[in-house]
Each structure stands twice: as structure tokens, then as C-alpha cells.
Structure 1
């Protein structure tokens, strides 16, 4: 009997909503905590209670969470019809490159500016970031911002029409690879073995591009929560969301171990291992 996941909308009352304008674009960002900044980028179809739960774990680990609203209805449990509508809008949005390999989504420019802004406010050695699903690769592109030190890719799912494609421009990928080598940095990445949306071919492509700087974790499908919210059960329809909808918050579970490894990675890079 697994612990019941969050199934009610989350009011996000313990976060401070801020309207942040960068590069002429204003977005709502939910901020909470103290310490070095960690940017938590939501999976499709928006900032669900599961995404907010992960953000709270980051906050409790000693960081200031910056959680930008990129799509969907903030705090909502992912339902089928609403989730499909959000997904379709995002796929045709000029901000994302859902079906284009070897290109970086324009929204990553704003996210790099957010990392710079958050570092200026929060201080510390630098900034961490995690992207999930639709935003899964964004933390890698954000490594073009010098303040970014701790990138995590959780089930990166773009481009959607090419299992081996990478959602980053080749020159930017080369620049990131060089920075990782030069500064002795690494990228953590997670997926479930049977994930239909983030397949083995994608991790192999990252490995080819980044070498041993790309640290991959592949979890067995049996580690996924068997009762995720409706959007994940009916639309995603495979083990997918490692630290959110498919996480089992119980001792000894691989998904909880993945969460703890991510928090430890942020501590090591941003808080001197404290």
C-alpha cells in the first residue's frame, strides 16, 4: 500500500508570487525559502501539487526556490481534458520548440536571465535548476549562464518526434560541454526505463555529447507510483515523472532516493556540501 499522492489543488499559500520582468517579458514566479537559489521548472501540464511538493523539499533543504509559471493553471491537479488543452497550446507556442531537434526553446533565454537575477538576490556560489518533462532539457541550456552550477534533467521529453533528438542548438551544446569540462561540473539526469516520452536513445545522445559529465540514472518501471493523477495515468500512460507524479514517498523507494540525490547535488554545488 503506497502513500497517497496529493490529489487536491494546491493554493501555494506558502510561496510568494512575484511578477518578474526580464528582457522585456513578465512572468509570475513563486518564491519561497532562504539560501542559494534553485529554479524548479514545472513539467507538463503545469505547477501541480506534486511539483509544488518537490519545490518544498528543495526549500526545506536550505534553498530559495524560484518556480516560474510557464504554462497551465498553477496549483491544479493534472486532469485529462485541461491537461491536453495546455499541452496543445504549448506545442504551438513560439516560446517552445516541441518538435524541433538541434534548437533551443526561446524561453530558455528568459530562464537564463532568471538564474542571473535570482543569484543576484540570493547570493551564494551560484544557482541550481531542475527541468522536468517538457522543460527537462532547459537546465542544460541554462548552463550558458555563468551563475548556473547545478543542472538536473528529469525525463527530458523534447523534441517529441525524435527519440534521439536533443532540444538544444549544436553550438550551445558544444559551449556547455566545454564549460562542464573546464569547470569540472556535471549534469544529473533521470528517467524510467520504459518511459515512452524520454527513451534510451535520448540519454545515449546526451552521453555522446557530454561524455562522463552526463551522469545518467535509469530507474526500473516497477519503481513508479501505480496511481498517478488522471493526466499521467491516461495521457502520459507510462512511468515518467521521477520526482513528482510517479514518486513513491516511502523509505527504500528508488524515486525517493533519486530525490535525495538531487537535493545532495544542490547542497554539494551550492552550499559547500552542508
Structure 2
């Protein structure tokens, strides 16, 4: 895969931008690749060069990537002031549920419809998805869509006001658990040990709710990339973004191993 600068605008020219209308809501989705579908849901502040890099890794692993634009400026490098403005705006957006446990973000209904569409277009056994940070739990809510087979939760940060809370309605959580048991499926999840947005209490809550269907990986803070944009240094402050900003793309690094495990999970569930 071509190496691209992570601090410069990424034109995403190797993706096809598509305006997709589902449930009477239209969003831009960047699509690329071939094979079974994997939905890469961006983290705050949006489809940054770091998020696009991960999406390309998924594509190179043999998948069709669907990368929806939910917030921010697609392809823009991470800027401190812009990132803060986006964060404040989406915290009060009706599409998302940033505060309060026991409820699902409305945007997950649109994402479930996207998974259904992607499966129709790409075929195969089913669809995978990864949510990150603000979108971290969305892949779990998407398990209400029958085509979804491979959910990955990377540093799920919501709800912001309850470290042990889960951003999913209780009836939906019960339905997901029943499906995981019935179909022998699992949920992969990742966080850094000292992450202040995704703490140990959240993984413990997932474990209690989903039992051994939840596979949580906790990486040491020492494994995080320290050369990060100002937004992550000043606003996020702790190791957080496992497969994007805080990933060290070198052989033997824990974050690269996490990335490779995620790709292997998609292959196992969708392509094997």
C-alpha cells in the first residue's frame, strides 16, 4: 500500500464517493475495494488521513470498504480548533447520544441499513464493521442487522458521563446477546489501559452483559504512539486511538498486532 503523509490533506481519490439515501437520510459514503463488505465508522474528528489509512488496510486485506461521512471534513488532517468545534457540535447533535447510558444513538439505525445495502451489493457470508471512539459502540448496535457478523469496538467512548455505562438500549443489548449465543458469534474490543474516555469499567460492563461473547483486549499505555496531533495531545490527553493516531506501524508493536488481529477477525468471519 502506498505510504501517504498523515499530516496533510488526503483526497481519497482511490475511493468512490457515493451519496446514499437510507431511511430518508442521505449521507456521503466512500467506497473502495472488492470482496465482502466492511464498514469503517470514523472517529472524531472525522475521516482523517489516519482513519483512511486504516480503511485502506481493510481493503488490502480483501474487503470492500464502506466509509460513511458522519462528521468533520473528509480527508482533512486533524486540527486542534476544528477538532474541538466538531466534538462540541456532535455532543448535542440529535443523531448521537453522547450522554446517558441505556440508549442507542439514532444514527445506528442508518448504519444498520447501510450494512444491509452493503451485503446486497457485495454478497458473501455477511458484513463486518468497526466503530472507533465516539462511534465505538455503533458496531454492537449494528448487530441487530442480520447480515452483520463481525463487530469490532475500538475504544468505545460513549456515554461520556458514565465510565461503566453502555451506549445501547437494554432491549437491544438483550437481542444482541441472544443472537451472539444462537449464532456462535463474538465481539472484539480494544482499549489502552490508561484511556480516560474508555475505562476498565466499560469493558467490565460489556463482559457482564455479553459474557464470553465479548473479547476485550487491553494494551499498555507504553505501546501508544507519542507523536500525535495537538488535538489528541491537548484534548484526548491519554493513549486512546488503537488503530489510528496511537498506532505504531512497526513489526512487533502491540498496536500493529491489534490491527492484524482485527483484519484476521474479518477474514475469519466474512471470507473463510
TM-score of the alignment, normalized to the shorter chain, above 0.5 = yes
Cα displacement (A) at 1:191:
0.1
User: Does structure 2 retain, via aligned residues, the 8 Å contact 1:5–1:228?
Assistant: no
Give 1:196's aligned residue: 196
| SS class of match (1:150) | strand
| SS class of match (1:247) | coil
Cα displacement (A) at 1:150:
0.1
- 1:4 & 1:40 partners in 2: Cα distance? 19
Q: Deviations over 1:47-70 (max 9, x none)?
A: 110000000000000000000000
| SS class of match (2:51) | helix
Give 2:68's aligned residue: 68
Give 1:7's aligned residue: 7
Distance 1:260 1:166, change over 3 A: same
Cα displacement (A) at 1:79:
1.0
Structure 2 gaps of 5+ residues are none
1:23 aligns with 2:23: yes
Q: TM-score, normalised by structure 1?
A: 0.97
Give 1:110's aligned residue: 110
| SS class of match (1:243) | coil
Distance 1:36 1:184, change over 3 A: same
- 1:76 & 1:228 partners in 2: Cα distance? 15
User: Does structure 1 retain, via aligned residues, the 8 Å contact 2:7–2:78?
Assistant: no
Give 2:36's aligned residue: 36
- 1:111 & 1:5 partners in 2: Cα distance? 29
Give 1:262's aligned residue: 262
Q: Deviations over 1:64-98 (max 9, x none)?
A: 00000000111111111100100111000000000
1:125 aligns with 2:125: yes
Cα displacement (A) at 1:178:
0.5
Following superposition of structure 1 onto structure 2, how do residues 85-100 of structure 1 map, counting pairs within 5 Å? 85-100=85-100
**After the TM superposition, which segments of 4 or more aligned residues of structure 1 sit over 2 Å from their partners?**
none
Cα displacement (A) at 1:5:
6.8
Q: Deviations over 1:27-56 (max 9, x none)?
A: 000000000000000001101100000000
Q: TM-score, normalised by structure 2?
A: 0.98
Cα displacement (A) at 1:228:
1.1
Cα displacement (A) at 1:4:
10
Cα displacement (A) at 1:231:
1.0
| SS class of match (2:45) | coil
Cα displacement (A) at 1:209:
0.0
Number of positions where the alignment pairs a residue of Structure 1 with one of Structure 2: 270
Give 2:138's aligned residue: 138
Structure 1 gaps of 5+ residues are none
